[in-house]
């Protein structure tokens, strides 16, 4: 059973539309490199499309009715949008979920030190990374520093052409005889991912370079060394996402995983007329480290917000919350591995995803015999097949690599705990979790079409 390349469906005019949608995404990806930046941009776009802050609605004791649009944010890192449908909430919602955190290096809480007249910063990597990919490339610093009085300083250094960048050095090839004998896993070790951030000494006797860096931080950003203790600073690849290939059919960028699903999910919400079933877009944090914490999918945040919406509609009861969740349907979107002709041995060709072949559906994920996976029901898949085919959406089924080659997890199994229908879907990538990942523009466009069709028809 073969799927067709989705580009073949489209004439010149339609391809222009795909390219212009992709350009908006490319700019979003270039500007939003952390979960906080993505959540803030999602709020700005939601408000521009008539969404109101659910907490304002609650505070003013306003009543919500079908056709209303609201959003709720958890700690600036996770966001849920609700577009209230004409059918009762208890009959369930149609939910698009994706995550907005990405693998990166985080600054430690006491990061700054001096070694041999260089100012350095200690990091702790976040999510699954091949550490050797994070050396010898320009890195930017994004995040917040929160001072004791509660004031927040937003940091973004390394993105503008005039900005400095930072980096982790690699060993010169001339002296790498021992290093190159090591296993890939330990060629670069976690504790060696230290950033070089300065080299001009001050007149101080002790740690003159570190002190010079601190005085720059004080002067430019108005914070002191001890403020790092209440900071969250993420080190990410510096620079904009770029068109990829002679034909510009792909995009190379940092954090496609999982913004290439989050972005079309969000845009799908904005393309809807008042839906029958309440439409939801849920963009969550902490997926890359197990969906833990208040802002991860395992948190009660989403369930609480469903309760708030029901309350504001005058329909709240404990059983109403349970029914609303249980009767919901979800596309849990995350990136999939696209077949890569450079690495054919890890893929099983009949069940691999292909760049350009549309939205991916993984019935199951997991590792070592589907362990940890949400195995979607064929009854649900059959309904989705019908919806996608009726709406001329290009889609493919796939697995993440050969059996027992590895595996991965997503947020799908967590939402499935409510007893709702959930399937893993998403966009295929090359270079997953590398500093620069690749996606096909037409795949993201098919995701957008698929998400709209799902919200309207599931």
Closer by beta carbon to Zn ion, 228 or else 302? 302
User: Residue 260 CB, nearest distance to Zn ion (Å)?
Assistant: 10
Closer by beta carbon to Zn ion, 258 or else 285? 258
Residue 314 in tokens: 């005058």
User: Residue 259 CB, nearest distance to Zn ion (Å)?
Assistant: 9
In this structure, what DSSP letter does residue 9 have? G
**Residue numbers of the site for Zn ion (CB under 5 A)?**
257-258, 334
Q: How far apart are CA 308 and CA 132, in angstroms?
A: 46
Closer by beta carbon to Zn ion, 287 or else 308? 287
User: Residue 257 CB, nearest distance to Zn ion (Å)?
Assistant: 4
* Helix and strand element counts for the chain (H, E): 11, 20
Nearest to 370 by CA among 331, 426, 410: 410
User: Residue 399 CB, nearest distance to Zn ion (Å)?
Assistant: 16
Helix axes 441-457, 378-390, angle to 10 degrees: 110
Q: Are strands 336-337 and 428-430 parallel, antiparallel or unpaired?
A: parallel
Give me the residues paired with residue 142 across strands.
156, 234
User: Residue 297 CB, nearest distance to Zn ion (Å)?
Assistant: 12
Closer by beta carbon to Zn ion, 100 or else 268? 100
Helix, strand or coil, per DSSP, at residue 209: helix
User: What letters, b where the CB count within 10 A reaches 16 and e where it falls short, cover 105-129?
Assistant: bbbeeebbebeeeebbbbbeebbeb
Closer by beta carbon to Zn ion, 101 or else 421? 101
Q: What are phi and psi of 168, to 5 degrees?
A: -105, 130
ω into 258 cis (within 30 of 0) = yes
Closer by beta carbon to Zn ion, 140 or else 411? 411
Closer by beta carbon to Zn ion, 260 or else 449? 260
User: Residue 202 CB, nearest distance to Zn ion (Å)?
Assistant: 43
Helix, strand or coil, per DSSP, at residue 285: coil
User: Residue 291 CB, nearest distance to Zn ion (Å)?
Assistant: 10
Q: What are phi and psi of 323, to 5 degrees?
A: -65, -40
Q: How far apart are CA 375 and CA 367, in angstroms?
A: 12
Closer by beta carbon to Zn ion, 35 or else 258? 258
CB atoms within 10 A of CB 341: 7
User: Residue 102 CB, nearest distance to Zn ion (Å)?
Assistant: 8
């Amino acid at each position: 059973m073969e799927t067709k390349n989705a580009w073949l469906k489209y004439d010149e005019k339609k391809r222009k539309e795909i390219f212009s949608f992709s350009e908006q995404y490319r700019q979003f990806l270039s500007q939003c490199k952390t979960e906080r930046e993505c959540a803030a941009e999602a709020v700005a776009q939601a408000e521009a499309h008539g969404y109101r802050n659910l907490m304002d609605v609650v505070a003013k004791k306003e009543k919500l009715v079908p056709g209303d649009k609201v959003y709720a944010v958890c700690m600036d890192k996770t966001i849920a949008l609700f577009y209230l449908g004409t059918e009762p909430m208890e009959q369930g919602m149609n939910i698009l979920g994706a995550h907005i955190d990405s693998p990166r290096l985080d600054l430690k809480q006491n990061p700054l030190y001096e070694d041999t007249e260089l100012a350095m910063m200690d990091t702790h990597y976040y999510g699954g990374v091949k550490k050797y990919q994070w050396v010898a490339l320009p890195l930017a610093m994004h995040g917040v520093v929160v001072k004791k009085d509660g004031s927040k300083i937003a940091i973004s250094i390394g993105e503008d052409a005039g900005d400095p960048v930072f980096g982790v050095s690699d060993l010169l090839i001339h002296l790498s005889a021992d290093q190159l004998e090591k296993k890939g896993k330990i060629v670069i070790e976690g504790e060696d991912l230290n950033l070089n951030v300065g080299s001009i000494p001050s007149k101080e006797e002790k740690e003159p370079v570190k002190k010079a860096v601190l005085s720059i931080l004080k002067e430019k950003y108005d914070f002191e060394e001890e403020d790092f203790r209440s900071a969250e600073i993420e080190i990410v690849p510096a620079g904009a996402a770029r068109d990829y290939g002679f034909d510009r059919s792909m995009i190379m960028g940092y954090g496609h995983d999982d913004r290439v699903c989050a972005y079309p999910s969000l845009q799908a919400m904005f393309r809807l007329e008042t839906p029958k079933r309440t439409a939801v877009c849920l963009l969550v944090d902490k997926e890359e480290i197990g969906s833990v914490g208040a802002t991860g999918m395992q948190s009660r945040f989403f369930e609480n917000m469903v309760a708030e919406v029901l309350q504001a509609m005058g329909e709240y009861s404990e059983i109403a919350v349970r029914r609303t969740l249980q009767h919901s349907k979800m596309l849990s979107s995350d990136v999939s591995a696209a077949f890569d002709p450079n690495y054919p041995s890890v893929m099983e060709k009949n069940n691999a995803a292909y760049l350009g072949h549309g939205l991916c559906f993984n019935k199951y994920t997991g590792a070592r015999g589907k362990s940890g996976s949400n195995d979607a029901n064929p009854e649900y898949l059959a309904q989705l097949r019908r919806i996608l085919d009726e709406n001329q959406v290009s889609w493919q089924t796939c697995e993440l690599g050969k059996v027992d080659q590895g595996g991965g997890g997503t947020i799908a199994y967590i939402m499935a705990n409510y007893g709702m229908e959930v399937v893993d879907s998403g966009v295929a990538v090359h270079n997953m979790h590398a500093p620069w990942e690749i996606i096909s523009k037409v795949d993201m466009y098919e995701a957008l079409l698929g998400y709209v069709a799902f919200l309207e028809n599931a």
